């Protein structure tokens, strides 16, 4: 479980990514994250869990445990998987309220163009929408009960 | 140095190899569009003031110049927003009411598949062989089975650069009383096109892939066929007489140009084709780049090139075994190499090849062998990082 707030996670990642003077070194690091991302169970590699995004495939399985939201994900391209890992590190293990209270524009601080671009074919941006969508669903379910 | 003709390259060191998506624009195109907006900006085909007359004259002169470039009559060229709109126009105003069936090759771009589907036309698929060339024997069998159909085939494949033998394909189609549209989106910038010689019934192009502005293109149609076609959209400038009970329409091509047209873009389109006309070494240059790229790519371990065909122009597509094309695209972009990765809006051929997409280099007159060398260097670095 994460002990840092979402903003603290973003700040920590920013300071890690700032260490790279060379953009290629930064992407080498992201590729490493992608290589290390644990494979997602095959049962989640289905159209239901697939995130819309034209360039590579990403599957996202969100779930709730002890009132916290968790995300596991997989994909078929290394950089996308590395970026997915970064999003999981930021958002997994937090309450729906904390996610919804965080403006996703804060991710711009990471200076990763693949995350902040809002292109219709950007799978990472679509994944972010899914994370917020799931948080909203959970929050509404809770409110209704 | 053709790059000097293109202001885009003045203040950057980008290597632009995504010309099949859109090309950069030479100064002469920008100047022509600027001239319209700063000297005679006004609407065409309306009123009688001098500015409007000048704009109308320039617009119609642009049509005449573009028609001449393509070897067709001035009344046979309809301005559209591009190839996609040209195909949609033809499907809506003509093909859906006169044909049951459309034959398409496996290489087609989505814009030459979906418009026919939207009108519920039956699609027959012309297969390609292992080198991605159209299987002529099966094509003729389809023509025999379904005479009087509509055939729509790309001139150059946007995903693999294959130049189809369109003169032969058209001639065969006519033998079986079929009519033919050629999607010329990729061909306009690379081949000299004489539409009367190839005898296409229809031909669709986009300016922006041939050094012209976005938002403008054209549909050529034989006049006797255009004359049979219903209007595509209703509005100003396409009517002869309007009452609340009935409207009558102008002759082609104006019947198909409802509303204010993309005037500056039409003028820019003309300037782009005039620019191309002056490039004496266009095809030779393209061939040099293609052969250089191919020989360099062949040296890379585990490269997959999808065709050995010699009839290639404009682009080259490949993958590196075990590496996702998207990873390559991102890492090349970080090294200032702009090219396209993905399915290139041609999902059916990707599915046939069992792939999600490719990495595509596509060339223009300003590209050099040094551009390709820098791209290969960046590609090798990307591969090292991803292995």
**Among the options B41, B178, B345, B375, which is catalytic?**
B345
Q: What pLDDT shows up at residue A86?
A: 94
Taking CA atoms, what residue in A is nearest to B386? A31
**B381 contacts A24? CB cut-off 8 A:** yes
What's residue A120's pLDDT? Answer: 55
| Domain total in chain B | 2
- Nearest Cβ partner of A76 from B324, B341, B385? B324
Residue after which a domain boundary falls, among B244, B277, B310:
B277
Q: For residue B132, what is the domain's CATH number?
A: 3.40.640.10
Do B268 and B317 lie in one domain? The reply is no
Domain stop point among B251, B277, B303:
B277
Least confident stretch, A113-127, B51-65, B84-98, B231-245: A113-127
CA pair distance A64, B203, nearest whole angstrom: 56
Residues B326 and B358 in one domain: yes
Q: Taking a C-beta distance cutoff of 8 angstroms, is the pair B158, B109 a contact?
A: yes
Question: What confidence tens digit (pLDDT) does each residue in B115-168 have?
Answer: 999 999 999 999 999 999 999 999 999 999 999 999 999 999 999 999 999 999
Which residues lie across from B217 on neighbouring strands?
A: B80, B206
B254 shares its domain with B369: no
Q: Nearest 5°: CA angle at A135, between A131 and A138? A: 140
Please give the residue range of the domain that contains residue B344: 2-19+281-386
Distance from CA of B379 to the nearest CA of A (A): 13
Same structural domain, B227 and B242: yes
- pTM beyond cutoff 0.80: yes
Whether residue B342 sits in one domain with residue B222: no
pLDDT tens-digit map of B290-312: 999 999 999 999 999 999 999 99
Give per-residue pLDDT as tens, B336-360. 999 999 999 999 999 999 999 999 9
Model pLDDT, residue A54: 56
Q: Does B182 lie in the same domain as B33? A: yes
**Pairing between strand B358-362 and B340-342?**
antiparallel
Q: B340 and B216 share a domain?
A: no
Query: Cβ A55–B329 below 8 Å, yes or no?
Result: yes
Longest dimension (CA), chain B: 71
Whether the per-residue pLDDT at B83 is higher than 90: the answer is yes
pLDDT of residue A119: 59
CATH of the domain at B337: 3.90.1150.10
Chain A residues within an 8 Å CB radius of B381: 24
Question: Which of B21, B327, B386 would you mutate first to test chain A, the one with the most A CBs within 10 A?
Answer: B327
- Please tell me whether residues B6 and B65 are part of one structural domain: no
Judge if B191 and B161 occupy the same domain: yes
Q: Is the pLDDT at A26 greater than 90, yes or no?
A: yes
Mean pLDDT score of chain B: 97
Residues B152 and B243 in one domain: yes
* Active site (catalytic) residues of A: 54
Q: Where are the beta strands (DSSP E) in A6-76?
A: 50-51, 58-65, 68-75
Residue of A nearest to B323 (CA): A77
- Nearest Cα residue to A136 out of A45, A62, A56: A62
Between helix A78-91 and helix A6-17 the angle, nearest 10°, is 140
* In a shared domain, residues B126 and B93: yes
pLDDT of residue B78 exceeding 80: yes
Q: Does residue B216 register a pLDDT over 90? A: yes
B288 and B273, same structural domain?
no
Shortest Cα–Cα distance, B50 to chain A (Å): 44
| Last residue in a domain, options B277, B306, B325 | B277
**Beta bridge mates, B153:** B182
């Amino acid at each position: 479980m994460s002990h840092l707030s979402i903003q603290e996670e973003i700040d920590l990642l920013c300071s890690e990514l700032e260490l790279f003077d060379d953009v290629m070194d930064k992407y080498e690091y992201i590729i490493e994250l992608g290589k290390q991302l644990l494979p997602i169970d095959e049962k989640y590699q289905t159209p239901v869990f697939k995130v819309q995004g034209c360039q590579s495939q990403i599957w996202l399985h969100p779930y709730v445990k002890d009132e916290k939201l968790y995300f596991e994900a997989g994909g078929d391209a290394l950089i996308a998987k590395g970026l997915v890992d970064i999003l999981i590190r930021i958002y997994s293990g937090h309450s729906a309220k904390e996610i919804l209270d965080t403006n996703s524009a804060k991710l711009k601080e990471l200076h990763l163009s693949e995350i902040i671009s809002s292109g219709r074919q950007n799978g990472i941006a679509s994944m972010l929408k899914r994370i917020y969508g799931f948080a909203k669903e959970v929050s509404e379910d809770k409110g209704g009960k | 140095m053709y790059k000097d003709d293109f202001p885009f390259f003045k203040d950057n060191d980008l290597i632009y190899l995504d010309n099949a998506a859109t090309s950069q624009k030479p100064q002469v195109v920008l100047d022509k569009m600027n001239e319209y907006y700063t000297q005679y900006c006004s609407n065409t085909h309306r009123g009688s003031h001098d500015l409007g007359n000048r704009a109308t004259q320039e617009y119609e002169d642009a049509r005449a110049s573009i028609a001449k470039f393509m070897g067709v009559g001035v009344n046979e060229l309809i301005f559209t927003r591009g190839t996609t709109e040209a195909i949609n126009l033809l499907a809506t105003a003509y093909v859906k009411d006169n044909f049951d069936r459309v034959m398409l090759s496996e290489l087609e771009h989505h814009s030459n598949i979906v418009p026919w589907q939207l009108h519920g036309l039956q699609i027959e698929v012309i297969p390609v062989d292992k080198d991605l060339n159209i299987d002529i024997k099966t094509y003729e069998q389809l023509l025999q089975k379904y005479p009087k159909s509509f055939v729509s085939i790309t001139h150059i494949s946007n995903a693999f650069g294959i130049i189809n033998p369109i003169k032969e394909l058209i001639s065969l189609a006519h033998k079986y009383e079929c009519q033919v549209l050629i999607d010329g989106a990729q061909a306009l910038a690379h081949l000299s096109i004489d539409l009367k010689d190839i005898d296409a019934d229809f031909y669709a192009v986009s300016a922006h892939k041939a050094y012209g502005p976005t938002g403008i293109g054209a549909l050529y149609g034989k006049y006797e066929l255009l004359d049979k076609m219903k209007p595509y959209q209703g509005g100003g400038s396409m009517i002869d007489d309007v009452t609340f009970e009935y409207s009558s329409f102008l002759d082609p091509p104006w019947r198909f140009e409802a509303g204010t047209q993309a005037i500056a873009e039409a003028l820019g389109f003309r300037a782009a084709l005039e620019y191309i006309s002056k490039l004496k070494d266009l095809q030779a240059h393209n061939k040099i780049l293609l052969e250089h790229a191919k020989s360099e790519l062949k040296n890379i371990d585990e490269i997959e090139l999808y065709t050995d065909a010699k009839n290639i122009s404009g682009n080259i597509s490949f993958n590196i075994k075990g590496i996702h094309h998207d990873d390559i695209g991102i890492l090349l972009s970080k090294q200032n190499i702009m090219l396209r990765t993905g399915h290139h809006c041609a999902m059916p051929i990707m599915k046939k090849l069992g792939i999600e997409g490719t990495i595509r280099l596509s060339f223009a007159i300003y590209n050099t062998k040094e551009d390709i060398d820098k791209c290969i260097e960046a590609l090798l670095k990307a591969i090292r990082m991803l292995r």
